[in-house]
Amino acid sequence: MAKTSKTLSAFQMAKRICERSDNIYDKKIFNRQVISNILSMYMDECRKALLDGEKIKLDKVGMIVPEIKVHMRTFNLPMCNKEGGNPPSTKLKINRSISLRDHMNSRLLKNMENGIYGLDKLPFSKQQMKILKDNGYLPENEGMEEEEDEE
């Protein structure tokens, strides 16, 4: 299984929005470029909010929370290669909504029942497949054809 790592851009998202069946807007006025510009402005505002330390809530998806990390010099944290040791840094914490988590998990399990190992565009890695086989979630002979094809 080859991993597909295609990132969704604002223009690709705008294309999906234009093609939706529930799109009630006039496609001549609200074309892909206009929607793409609106999405780009939204992403710019999200970026500015994160730079200011604000939380961002994405309806039906979850929340993005900026955090500040200050490292204490302890035995389990090596010194940085930079002069001055471990400077403070920032991090993003992403929380999914409960309904999104449940929908993603149910889709994953349904895919496994149908012989699709992973989400549609995010397959299990070889290591994950081995763990699932060892724990009895997948049959031992599953995926053997693909491994033979690679050789």
Query: How does pLDDT run across 34-56, given as a tens digit for each residue?
Result: 889 999 999 999 999 999 999 99
Q: Is residue 3 part of a domain?
A: no
Domain span at 137: 97-146
Percent of the chain with pLDDT over 70: 81
> Residue 145 pLDDT > 80, yes or no?
no
SS3 content of the chain, % helix, strand, coil (to 5): 40, 15, 45
Residues 120, 124, 128, CA angle at the centre, nearest 5°?
Answer: 160
Confidence of residue 83 (pLDDT cuts 50, 70, 90): low
116 and 78 inside one domain:
no
Q: Is residue 132 part of a domain?
A: yes
103 and 141 inside one domain:
yes
Please write the tens of the pLDDT for every residue from 106-143: 999 999 999 899 999 899 999 999 999 999 888 887 76
Q: Is residue 139 part of a domain?
A: yes
65 and 92 inside one domain:
yes
Q: Is residue 5 part of a domain?
A: no
Q: Is 28 left (phi over 0), alpha (psi -120 to 50) or beta?
A: alpha
Confidence of residue 82 (pLDDT cuts 50, 70, 90): low
> Residue 10 pLDDT > 50, yes or no?
yes
103 and 120 inside one domain:
yes
92 and 103 inside one domain:
no
Q: In this structure, what is the dihedral angle of CA atoms 63, 69, 75, 76, given to the nearest 10 degrees?
A: 30
Cα(16)–Cα(1) distance, rounded to whole angstroms?
Answer: 26
pLDDT at site 95: 94
Please write the tens of the pLDDT for every residue from 90-115: 899 999 999 999 999 999 999 999 98
E strands in 3-88 = 56-58, 62-69
Q: Is residue 106 part of a domain?
A: yes
87 and 119 inside one domain:
no
Structure tokens at 86: 């471990």
Q: Is residue 103 part of a domain?
A: yes
Give how many domains the chain has, as a whole number: 3
Q: Is residue 1 part of a domain?
A: no
Q: Is residue 151 part of a domain?
A: no
115 and 140 inside one domain:
yes
47 and 64 inside one domain:
no
Cα(94)–Cα(57) distance, rounded to whole angstroms?
Answer: 10
Global pTM reads 0.69
